[in-house]
């Protein structure tokens, strides 16, 4: 069983042309799907940490869900900042096909792993003590702790792998990384960043936690293989 990840698929529920963000985005899902089918088996797990579809409603996201659901492997979804289609978690889960799962304030066991996480948020600077960003950031820290509480309760010795959408830390700000360090998490996957912002992404091991940046354009529109016994291991 292999573990893979890819985020920010930005599937075109509204036929939004992604090549407005650069020619490399043209037919991007076709490139992702081709690589996915070549490398992922039905027994493998693929983590999808956010910005799955441009859809505004769950009904509009149905075709996008079906396209990814038809690909090999078991898929674990986390909500991103552009996933407006993601409403009540019960409705989302009922809309997912067999072998497709969603995490929200809880955790999921698949084989020898437990998957947990939260969307995260922009990490506020010290100058933003009264900002709305700080309020949402603190709420997301609470949600991450809720998810990890559940993960620890059900783990029974299994490895806990964390998914986030926003970067859990920057080169200057600790963000959510203190929680991951205190909980003994070894691996965290995240997305959200695109283009030039990928150059400042934290990758590799910091304070015992290995961070895997998996935005699809940063991966050349190929799924990312996670080596849980190694480090940042893109194929």
* Global pTM value: 0.94
Average pLDDT over residues 78-91: 96
Largest CA-CA distance found in the chain, in angstroms, rounded: 49
pLDDT surpasses 90 at 228: no
Per-residue pLDDT tens over the stretch 98-142: 999 999 999 999 999 999 999 999 998 755 566 888 899 999 999
| Higher pLDDT pick, 173 / 119 | 119
Per-residue pLDDT tens over the stretch 10-62: 998 666 666 656 667 788 899 999 999 999 999 999 999 999 999 999 999 99
Task: Give CA–CA dist 107/14, Å, rounded.
Answer: 31
Give residue 128's pLDDT: 59
The angle formed by the CA atoms of residues 10, 147 and 126, to the nearest 5 degrees, is 75
């Amino acid at each position: 069983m292999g573990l893979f990840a890819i985020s920010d698929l930005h599937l075109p529920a509204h036929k939004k042309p992604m090549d407005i963000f650069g020619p490399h985005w043209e037919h991007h899902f076709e490139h992702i799907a081709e690589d996915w089918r070549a490398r992922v088996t039905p027994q493998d797990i693929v983590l999808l940490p956010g910005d799955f579809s441009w859809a505004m409603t769950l009904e509009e996201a149905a075709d996008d869900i079906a396209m990814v659901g038809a690909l090999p492997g078991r898929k674990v979804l986390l909500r991103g900042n552009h996933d407006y289609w993601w409403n009540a978690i019960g409705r989302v889960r009922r809309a997912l096909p067999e072998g497709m799962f969603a995490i929200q304030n809880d955790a999921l066991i698949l084989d020898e792993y437990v998957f947990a996480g939260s969307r995260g948020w922009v990490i506020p600077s010290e100058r933003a003590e009264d900002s709305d960003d700080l309020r949402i950031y603190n709420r997301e820290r609470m949600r991450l702790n809720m998810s990890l509480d559940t993960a620890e309760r059900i783990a029974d010795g299994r490895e806990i792998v964390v998914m986030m959408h926003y970067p859990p830390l920057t080169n200057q700000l600790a963000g959510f990384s203190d929680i991951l360090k205190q909980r003994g998490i070894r691996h965290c996957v995240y997305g959200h960043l695109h283009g030039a912002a990928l150059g400042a992404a934290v990758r590799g091991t910091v304070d015992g936690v290995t961070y895997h940046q998996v935005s699809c354009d940063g991966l050349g529109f190929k799924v990312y293989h996670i080596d849980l016994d190694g480090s940042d291991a893109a194929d």
